[in-house]
Structure 1
């Protein structure tokens, strides 16, 4: 573009895996459509096709506008907390990247809300993971590869005997697409943390500990008001995915329920001791240079 000089700082953030995910997913000609529809969400009851929130520099404080999506029913998140896991089709996904040096505290706030994609009634829960879904939007729980993966993962989990889907809201999980029938190119989601609206105690038959004892799902906010938030401290550069769903274990699949997510990045200051140590090293280096000049 005439009059614009591309610097390395401007170019390099676009090389993050999430940025490459975006370019593979939409193609150059579709970019204006994505920009125009940045507040729109992925459709519910589809494969894992996330809403891209963007890249955020670890050194810059920012709060996004609320990003709308919708999920089918009000139990998708809590279903992933039980002993036979859940189905990603009953969740909505968001992706974002953190770039640059240092670390930041990232706050996620999710609420159930009426929007153009769904009605009221969602009691939200969400989980933050490191990792990205398939760039082609093809990951789903019932592909041949996904079923192979979760059969193996269930067998490796003491007490697990059967699964409803791939989604695990309090643990790592793997999922893949139809083309990957052997599960060798799976998307891997590494658990970071979770939070949910209200409080839920699962029956012994549904406990993820498989001990037939009542199980209080941790990190509920204790107040059922269709909003929940959590701050994740000292996150570093990388690609992240948020899965959002309902926490009402008794809910039915329909109707579609709207949700909105807001993200806030707060840079973590470099500790004073580290700054002083760095300043001291710089001072010693300057003194050494001056002595060398004097000796010359």
Structure 2
């Protein structure tokens, strides 16, 4: 580097000397260019000028190369320095222990190779196995209609007596009474609010085994918000209807029984909705 700068300086001084010699018309000697006793000719001035221009061009080019080379090295060093200063050093990422915290004495910490004295109680609490979680019992959402309020009805009740259909006695149910023999067709009903909470209506529907009318005939209907969900006719001796009716999104449920006069008539005839429930 120092030699290169020295050579660059020589070229620069030579260029200045050549141009200065032309300026003074060769009256004095400058380095290798001697003094001219007379006025130098145009050819001599041209040669010296070209020599000075050449040396000046070499000097300027070399200076530009020098600045480019060492300027790029300085930029790279500065970028590397900024990256190293931004990344944490290993010493800073691993904080040294505080001088205030005492290090454990070798005598205080038990050696892992030394077995504990079996005659002494263990200093470690026994490890108890984690109890397996017990699943909570599923809560039934089924609800008997006999436990719900009847919003509107005609001779319909929720009393538990005479709830016997086809030889089966039920603990819960809905009863519909004929109560009269005139006219020949008597309609009874009961309405319940479901509030869109239930999906199915289940139960068993049939005439009570205690009925005394011969040739009894009853039309059974189920409505969900005025939509007919069931429409069947039960006659004496028929198998009871097993209910499993979807009631999704139903607000108001209506059960309906229509008594049709048989060969004779009894005002005590009943239509039983045994174990009628929604879930």
> What TM bracket, shorter-length normalisation?
0.3 to 0.5
Question: Could you tell me the TM-score, scaled by structure 2's length?
Answer: 0.32
Q: Which has the higher contact order (CA 8 A, sep 6+)?
A: 1
TM-score between the two structures when normalised by the length of structure 1: 0.31
